[in-house]
């Protein structure tokens, strides 16, 4: 047996505590898969937020309360302990004085909470104190996105302030470069970092401070969630202003493709489906679709394809462009397919979709809001899942769709390019324009009416192996390489 290694996995989102996007799925599925694959060789534990209602989650209980200094003053920190729903991975939900006991995680009605730097910084400080409080001494600190990036430069100052030496190796995983945790410099004191970090090769970013940039500069190594996205962010506009910082760390920057939770997303056992099915019994998928159509009032007489969308309604996801493409198709030929749309996000895009629904009654049904069971049902019951993302670090829904025999139609960017094979397991839009999307939709329509072609594409899509099981090895290797390599020059003197 290899020497056991221990990892403290820091994330602001994890199912079942709180989810706004794919980060929550990955933060549950990757640690669970690592623990399942490597057993006692990896002791991985998750540090997340003490979000509203966490104490009522099955199996969660108050473990410890302690008082610590944070940049915003002394705070009482509660640690609630639970487990992931599958497997035995411990989850520590850390609550600095109720700062995460709110309706939402980051903000409401499209506006960020004004005290986010104070909240996330206090929480990062508390997370760094947690190992000593619970008696867990990790080899590796694995941070995710801007929300936990501050922990990386902060680590030596919180854990061994007198020596300012990093006691653990650090890894930063970037799930989306568009979100960077950028704040005015006059809030610097809230980070708790010495002002020597306020420089171009520190956290300084165009006259402001960037938490994500801090993580990029000081992590021992960096990953992002697909090989193609890694390439895209090394230049602009993909790097959202951080391509230079990433190029500087190029040798320690890897693109590791995300996987999916093959237990949670399995058409044979999916708890949210009234009718389950398999590759061999794909015929049952039509019964599931019929039920969904009836419930949603989509009662077509002639056989028609059902297109689904499950997505944040934002510019990134191409939500506006898709609405316009559908509108234009409708004007052209009165829509020869049905649509079920589930999404939430930008209020103006939600509005636009509501309007599209009113223009095509009985053809398009839109539900705005967040609904996990419905997400499973739409992905399972649709014939096609449409994902016209402007950029996509990895994307998970296309992999979920393929597993359910639902053909993904994607803009081939980032992880969408790496996971969907054009004309084999899905379709690539030739260009991300109204015309390009319409062309792709028409191709899908034609395939639907070619029974043999449609069936074989569905079979190929369902055979694609996307589970984390085969992808955890890359993380294990990286953790081991990190352990055996010397520390980088990752502190500012």
What residues make contact with ligand ADP under the rule CB under 6 A? 21-22, 25, 310-312, 342-344, 370-372, 375, 394-397
225 binds ligand GLC (CB under 6 A): yes
Tell me if 176 contacts ligand GLC by CB under 6 A: yes
* 225 vs 321, beta carbon nearer ligand GLC: 225
Buried b / exposed e across 413-449, counting CB within 10 Å, b at 16+?
bbbbbbbbeeeebbbbbeebebebbbbbbebbbebbe
Q: How far is the CB of 310 from ligand ADP (least distance, A)?
A: 5
Q: Toward ligand GLC, which CB reaches closer, 5 or 394?
A: 394
Shortest distance, CB of residue 28 to ligand ADP, whole angstroms?
Answer: 11
For the CB of residue 397, give the shortest distance to ligand ADP in the complex, in Å. 4
Q: Given the complex with ligand ADP, which of 25 and 337 has the nearer CB atom? A: 25
Q: Which residues contact 388 (CB under 8 A, 6 or more apart)?
A: 317, 318, 321, 322, 325, 409, 410, 411, 429, 432, 437
395 forms part of the interface with ligand GLC (CB under 6 A): yes
Q: Which does 372 bind (CB under 5 to 8 A by kind): ligand ADP, ligand GLC, none?
A: ligand ADP
Q: Which of ligand GLC, ligand ADP, none sits in contact with 425, Cβ below 5 to 8 A by type?
A: none
By C-beta, is 72 or 375 nearer to ligand ADP? 375
Q: In degrees, to the nearest 5, what angle opens at C-alpha 51 toward C-alphas 15 and 221?
A: 60
Of 25 and 418, the one with the shorter C-beta distance to ligand ADP is: 25
Could you say which of ligand GLC, ligand ADP, none residue 323 binds, taking C-beta under 5 to 8 angstroms by partner kind? none
Is 241 a residue that touches ligand GLC (CB under 6 A)? no
Cα angle 348, 352, 357 (rounded to 5 degrees) comes to 145
Choice from 141, 394, 407, 409 touching ligand GLC (CB under 6 A): 394
Smallest separation, CB 229 to ligand GLC (Å): 8
User: Is 170 a binder of ligand GLC (CB under 6 A)?
Assistant: no
In the complex with ligand ADP, which residue's Cβ is closer, 81 or 371?
Answer: 371
Kindly report the backbone phi and psi dihedral angles of residue 491, in degrees, each rounded to the nearest multiple of 5, phi listed first: -135, 150
In angstroms, the CA 50 to CA 487 distance is: 32
Cβ proximity to ligand ADP, 237 vs 373, nearer residue: 373
Least separation, in Å, of the C-beta of 28 and ligand GLC? 11
List 396, 402, 407, 461, residue binding ligand GLC (CB under 6 A): 396
Question: In whole angstroms, what is the distance from residue 328 CA to residue 438 CA?
Answer: 8
State the binding partner of 225 from ligand GLC, ligand ADP, none, CB within 5 to 8 A by kind.
ligand GLC
Asked if 407 and 401 count as a contact pair (C-beta separation under 8 A), the reply is yes
With CB under 6 A as the contact rule, the residue among 15, 23, 158, 492 that binds ligand GLC is: 23
Please report how close the Cβ of residue 394 comes to ligand ADP at its closest, in angstroms: 6
Residues 270-309 that bind ligand GLC (CB under 6 A): none
What whole-number distance in Å separates Cα of residue 87 and Cα of residue 36? 7
The residues that touch ligand GLC, with contacts defined as CB under 6 A, are 21-23, 26, 175-176, 225, 258, 392-396, 415
């Amino acid at each position: 047996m290899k020497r056991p290694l221990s990892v403290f996995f820091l994330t602001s989102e994890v199912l079942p505590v709180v989810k706004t996007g794919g980060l929550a799925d990955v933060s549950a599925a990757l640690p669970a898969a690592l623990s399942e694959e490597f057993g006692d060789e990896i002791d991985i534990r998750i540090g997340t937020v003490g979000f509203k209602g966490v104490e009522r989650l099955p199996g969660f209980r108050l473990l410890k309360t302690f008082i610590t200094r944070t940049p915003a003053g002394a705070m009482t920190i509660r640690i609630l302990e639970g487990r992931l729903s599958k497997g035995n991975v411990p989850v520590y939900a850390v609550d600095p004085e109720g700062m995460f006991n709110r309706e939402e995680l980051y903000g409401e009605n499209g506006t960020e909470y004004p005290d986010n730097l104070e909240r996330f910084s206090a929480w990062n400080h508390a997370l760094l104190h947690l190992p000593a409080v619970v008696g867990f001494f990790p080899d590796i600190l694995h941070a995710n996105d801007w929300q936990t990036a501050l922990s990386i430069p902060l680590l030596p100052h919180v854990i061994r302030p007198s020596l300012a030496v990093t006691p653990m190796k650090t890894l930063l995983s970037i799930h989306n470069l568009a979100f960077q945790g950028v704040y005015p410099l006059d809030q610097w004191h809230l980070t708790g970092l010495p002002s020597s970090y306020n420089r171009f090769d520190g956290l300084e970013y165009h006259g402001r401070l960037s938490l994500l940039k801090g993580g990029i500069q000081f992590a021992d190594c960096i990953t992002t969630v697909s090989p193609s996205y890694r390439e895209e962010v090394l230049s602009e506009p993909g790097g959202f202003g951080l391509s230079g910082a990433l190029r500087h760390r190029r040798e320690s920057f890897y693109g590791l493709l995300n996987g999916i939770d093959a237990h949670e997303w399995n058409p044979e056992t999916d708890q949210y489906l009234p009718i389950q099915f398999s590759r061999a019994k794909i015929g049952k998928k039509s019964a599931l679709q019929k039920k969904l159509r009836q419930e949603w009032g989509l009662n077509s007489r002639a056989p028609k394809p059902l297109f689904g969308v499950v997505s944040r309604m934002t510019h990134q996801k191409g939500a506006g462009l898709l609405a316009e493409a559908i509108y234009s198709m409708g004007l052209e030929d009165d829509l020869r397919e049905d649509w079920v749309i589930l999404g939430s996000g930008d209020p103006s895009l939600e509005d636009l979709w509501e309007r599209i629904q009113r223009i095509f009654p009985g053809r398009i049904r839109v539900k705005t809001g967040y609904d996990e069971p419905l997400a499973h049902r739409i992905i399972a019951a649709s014939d096609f899942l449409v994902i016209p993302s402007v950029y996509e670090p990895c994307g998970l829904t296309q992999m979920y769709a393929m597993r359910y025999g639902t053909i993904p139609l994607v803009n081939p960017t980032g992880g969408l390019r790496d996971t969907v094979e054009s004309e084999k397991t899905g379709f690539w839009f030739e260009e991300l324009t109204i015309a390009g999307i319409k062309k792709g939709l028409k191709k899908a329509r034609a395939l639907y009416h070619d029974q043999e072609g449609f069936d074989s594409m569905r079979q190929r899509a369902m055979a694609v192996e996307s589970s984390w099981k085969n992808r955890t090895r890359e993380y294990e290797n990286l953790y081991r390489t990190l352990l055996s390599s010397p520390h980088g020059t990752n502190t500012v003197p």
